[in-house]
């Protein structure tokens, strides 16, 4: 029996708008350290490389140096605070569920490959009621490797029991494009996520403006089951 084709999604900014709750948690950390809160609009340049990088970028944006010991302390605090309120203001992007339904009918299975810790990833997907839609869910700490290492993506595909020759990555950032290209897997980008440059400049295989366009984009890149 042949392995099914797979669509692997990034989470933050791709599947879902999670910036309000991520930035809220960051601002709790910044304010307890005597710094001003940052507006949620800064998420596009701050979010996307994991919580440690987010804290580092937040302090840099606030003009304060951050030593390694303090970063680790704040990182642990961030994870605890965020786990208590991962999704009160977050939501799936419009059209995601319908796109999953259409691609399921074509025989695709799905995975999530994100640099968010697996605990918070599962809590968010549970809050959205879509955890059972994914054959594999991999966070930053699921394997010994994480994006942009291509093994994060290829191991997610393997965990899902899917065909790596019929896989496509869906993302919103430089990290996602670099990961997919290193793995030799086509990548579709959404332009409404968290990126420091326009996704078109990263040369993905496709850019879609809405998830209603995802099934057609995926079918053009990956043979259906």
H helices present in the chain, as ranges? 19-32, 43-46, 51-62, 68-83, 96-105, 118-128, 150-159, 174-183, 214-221
99: number of CA atoms within 13 Å, CB side? 22
Output the pTM of the full model: 0.94
Our answer to whether residue 10 is catalytic in this structure is yes
The catalytic residue among 10, 21, 172, 176 is 10
Please report the pLDDT score of residue 42 as a whole number: 84
Q: Which domains does the chain have, with CATH numbers?
A: 6-17+90-221 (3.40.50.1000), 19-83 (1.10.150.240)
pLDDT in tens, the chain (225 residues): 799 999 999 999 999 999 999 999 999 999 999 999 998 888 777 887 778 889 999 999 888 889 999 999 999 999 999 999 999 999 999 999 999 999 999 999 999 999 999 999 999 999 999 999 999 999 999 999 999 999 999 999 999 999 999 999 999 999 999 999 999 999 999 999 988 899 999 999 999 999 999 999 999 999 765
CA pair distance 12, 140, nearest whole angstrom: 13
**How many C-beta neighbours within 10 Å does residue 45 have?**
13
**Cα dist. 212→103, 106, 150, 224 in Å?**
11, 15, 27, 17
Q: How far apart are the first and last CA of the chain?
A: 11
DSSP-assigned states of every residue in 68-94: HHHHHHHHHHHHHHHHTSSSTT-EEPT
């Amino acid at each position: 029996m042949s392995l099914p084709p797979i669509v692997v999604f990034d989470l933050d900014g791709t599947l879902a708008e999670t910036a309000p709750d991520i930035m809220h948690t960051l601002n709790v950390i910044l304010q307890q350290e005597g710094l001003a809160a940052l507006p949620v609009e800064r998420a596009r340049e701050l979010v996307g490389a994991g919580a440690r990088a987010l804290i580092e970028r937040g302090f840099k944006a606030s003009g304060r140096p951050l030593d390694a010991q303090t970063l680790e302390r704040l990182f642990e605090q961030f994870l605890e605070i965020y786990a208590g309120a991962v999704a009160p203001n977050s939501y799936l992007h419009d059209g995601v569920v319908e796109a999953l339904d259409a691609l399921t009918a074509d025989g695709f299975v799905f995975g999530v490959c994100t640099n968010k810790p697996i605990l918070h990833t599962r809590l968010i997907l549970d809050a959205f009621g879509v955890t059972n839609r994914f054959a594999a869910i991999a966070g930053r700490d699921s394997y010994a490797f994480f994006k942009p290492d291509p093994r994060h993506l290829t191991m997610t595909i393997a965990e899902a029991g899917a065909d790596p020759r019929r896989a496509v990555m869906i993302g919103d950032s430089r990290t996602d494009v670099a990961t997919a290209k290193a793995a030799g897997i086509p990548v579709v980008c959404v332009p409404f996520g968290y990126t420091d440059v326009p996704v078109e400049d990263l040369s993905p295989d496709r850019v879609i403006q809405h998830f209603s366009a995802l099934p057609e984009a995926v079918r053009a890149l990956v043979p259906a089951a």
